[in-house]
Amino acid sequence: MTNHNQQETNATTAEKNIHTDFTHNMTYGEYLGLDKILSAQNRLSGHHDEMLFIVIHQVSELWMKLILHETKAAIVSIEEGDLSTAQKRLARVSKTQSQIIQAWDVLSTMTPSEYMEFRDSLGQASGFQSYQYRMIEFALGYKTDHVLKIYQKDPALHAELKAAFEAKGLYDVAIEALHKAGLPIDEDVLNRDVTKTYRDNESVRKAWMTVYHNTDHYWELYELAEKLIDLEDWLQQWRFRHMKTVERVIGFKMGTGGSSGVGYLKKVLDQRFFPELWAIRTEL
C-alpha cells in the first residue's frame, strides 16, 4: 500500500464518527438560524450589485450587535470594579471594529454607475437611521435624540433606545472608577445628566494625568484608558472610511436619509468621546 493510500485510510478511520443523521438532532444551520439570515437579502431593484450593498450593511449590523453586547458587559464590569474583565471585553470590541472597517473596502468595489441603478429603490432608508450605531454612540457618551423620534412607530425598539439614551455610558463609569480609586472628581461630573453629551472637565483631566504619571500604582486604570483610546481611534477610522467610500460612490449628493452626505460625515469626524484622554497626550 502506498503512503498516499495509507493516509487516505487513516483519514477515513479517524473521521468514522462524523455525524450524518440529524433526523432528531440540531444541525449547524438550525443552531445559527441560517434559514432566516440567508433569506433576508431581498433586492428591491433586482440589480446585481444591490446584493453587495445589502450584505455589507447586514454584516456590519451583526458586528455592531457584538460591539454592543461586549460594551454593555464592560460597563457592568467596570461598575463592579472588575477592570481586568472590562479590558478583555473592550479588546474584543476593538478587534470587531477592525472587521467593520475592512467592510468598506469591499463596498468600494461598487462604482457610482452601479449604485445609481438601484439607489432610488432605497427610498428614505439610510445608514443614518441605524439604531445600533446610535446605541454605540450612546454607550460612548455621545447623546442625540433624533433616532428616538425615527423609531417612535416601533414601541418596543423605541423603549430600548430610550433606555440606552438614559443609561450611563462607558466613560461615565470609567470616571466613577477614577473617583473610587481616590482621585478627586468634581461632583457635578459624578452627578451629571447622562442624557447630555459629555463635555471635558478639568478634574477628570487631572485625574487621568495622575494615572499616566503613576502607571505602576494605577495600572488597571491606565490599561482601561488605553482601551478607551483604542475604541475611539477605531471608531474614527470607521467613520473616515465610511466618508471616503460615500464620496467615492456618490460624491457630494445628499444622503437618502436627508443628511448632507459627505458633508455630515466629515463633520462627525471632529466629535470626541473621551476628550481628556486625548488632551493629556500633549501635556505628558
Q: Do 99 and 237 form a contact (C-beta atoms < 8 A)?
A: no
Q: How far apart are CA 142 and CA 135, in angstroms?
A: 9
- Is 57 labelled as part of a ligand binding site? yes
Residue 69 counted as an annotated binding residue: no
Residue 50, Cβ density class (10 Å: 0-12 exposed, 13-18 middle, ≥19 buried): buried
Residue 9 assigned as binding residue: no
Grid cell 439570515 in the structure block, residue: 37
Cell of 172: 461615565
Q: Hey, what amino acid is at 198?
A: Y
Q: Which triple of cell numbers denotes residue 106? A: 469591499
146 annotated as belonging to a binding site for a ligand: no
**Residue 75 assigned to a binding site:** no
Annotated ligand binding at 242? The verdict is yes
Q: Please report, for residues 2, 112, 123, 228, 261, the alpha-carbon distance to residue 221 in angstroms, rounded to integers and kept in the order given.
A: 61, 47, 47, 10, 38
- Annotated ligand binding at 115? The verdict is yes
Measure the N-to-C terminal CA separation of the chain; round to a whole number of Å. 71
Please give the annotated binding residues for heme, written as ranges: 242
Please give the annotated binding residues, written as ranges: 53-57, 115, 119, 242, 256
Please give the annotated binding residues for substrate, written as ranges: 53-57, 115, 119, 256
